[in-house]
Amino acid sequence: MTPTPLTRDLIQRAPKVVLHDHLDGGLRPTTVLELAQETNYSGLPTNDAEQLRSWFIADTPGSDLVRYLEGFAHTTALMQTNDQLERVAREAALDLARDGVVYAEIRFAPELHLSGGLTLHEVVAAVLAGFERGMHEARAEGHPIIVRAILSAMRQANLSETIAELAIQFRDRGVCGFDIAGPEDGFPPTHHLRAFHLVQREDFHMTIHAGEAFGLPSIWEAVQFCNAERLGHGVRIADDIIEKDGEYHLGRLANFIRDRRIPLEVCPTSNVHTGAALSIASHPIEVLRKLRFRVTLNTDNRLMSGISMSSEFATCAEAFGWTLADMEWMTLNAAKSAFFPFDQRLEMINTIIKPGYAALRQA
């Protein structure tokens, strides 16, 4: 059978799954402006929506993680009340659904949303209420989506055990897992072992940001000491892969990650913008795909990178010649790796994802 080339139309219509999307990195520029006006927030670099959209995208030559993170000071400042959090969460669900995403895990750090007087519980409840509203409206529009939350603890702080407990408390109300985020260098995952052990004892799910700005030691600690089920980014596992005379040779850690089918939440455009990769063309995702790691494609921060799931697939398809079969394989990887009950995962795969791609092949 001749492979079906990926077109933007096919990509837009195809069912998609995202496992790594940050709530505070996905606001609409118009929402940022409106929330700033409502609260008399004067810190924005411009009051023009299009100029603001361009400012948030850290894609100029020489951009790095420091520049990339500048925008979060503004978005988190405008996510400090129940109404603000609920609105942002609702819009995130809607925006993903309108892009063809059928299942999304959106993460956020509750500790970053306390300056307006909310408690940690109130922050989580507001976000989950927003997701529920967004899912309801998306169904009414004809593109249903399931949205679940991952609670992130900031690895440079000391609240990880508290956030892990919070995630467990909300596990039956829309929270599906625990994560740590923030700077890897100098803040290894083993600093948060008590939190990870708590999650394990409670038979709950975890993913860990590892292998983005820092290399193999971060990945090794995440899987060997913390028992991470998935790796947020994880692209630096490519440091343990050597190409010689057209053949790839995997080191012990790379073999372990591939053999165990540990999912990689890869975010190519974000990696380029933060300096973790030089370009899309040289990004390790294609090598990892060819070597059949459990690769998933993700957005990371839609506002800061100016992307959507559809545009990310289109960018990679152009760079690597991906076909519809490659997109389906990666989407199934994500669906299989979701922190979603097995029977519901299976139903989503067999009644939504596989039939959706089959219909596109016949179109």
Tell me the residue range of the domain where 315 lies. Answer: 8-362
pLDDT of residue 66: 67
Confidence of residue 275 (pLDDT cuts 50, 70, 90): confident
Q: Quick one: CA dihedral 140, 10, 361, 331, positive or negative?
A: negative
Q: For residue 70, give the CATH number of its domain.
A: 3.20.20.140
Predicted confidence (pLDDT) per residue in 16-28, tens digit: 999 999 999 999 9
The set of catalytic residues is 212
Number of domains making up the chain: 1
Among residues 11, 12, 52, the alpha carbon closest in space to that of 31 is found at: 52
Judge whether 239 lies within some domain: yes
Beta-carbon neighbour count of residue 29 at 10 Å? 20
Give the integer Cα–Cα distance in Å for 168 and 123. 15
* 61: confidence class by pLDDT, cuts 50, 70, 90: low
- Nearest CA among 265, 274, 275 for reference residue 209: 265
Average pLDDT, integer, range 331-351: 98
pLDDT for res 210? 96
- Tell me if 158 is assigned to some domain: yes
pLDDT tens readout for residues 146-192: 999 999 999 999 999 999 999 999 999 999 999 999 988 889 999 99
In a domain, 95, yes or no: yes
- HSE (CB half, 13 Å, CA atoms) of 287? 20
pLDDT at 133: 98
Tokens encoding 46: 């411009």
Cβ contacts of residue 71 below 8 Å, gap of 6+? 25, 55, 56, 58, 303, 304
Name the band, by pLDDT with cuts 50, 70 and 90, for residue 246: confident
Does residue 3 belong to any structural domain of this protein? no
Q: Which pLDDT value is given to residue 60?
A: 62
At 3, give phi and psi (nearest 5°).
Answer: -60, 140
Which whole-number Å values give the CA distances from 99 to 103, 105, 302, in the listed order?
11, 15, 12
Q: What is the pLDDT of residue 250?
A: 98
Residue 355 lies in a domain: yes
Give a yes or no: residue 232 inside a domain.
Answer: yes
Where does residue 130 rank: exposed (0-12), middle (13-18), buried (19+ CB within 10 A)? Answer: buried
Tell me whether residue 1 is in a domain: no
Helix or strand or coil: residue 257? helix
Q: pTM for the full model?
A: 0.97
Q: Which residues of 294-314 are buried (b: 16+ CB within 10 A; e: fewer)?
A: bbbbbbbbbbbbbbbbbbbbb
In a domain, 144, yes or no: yes
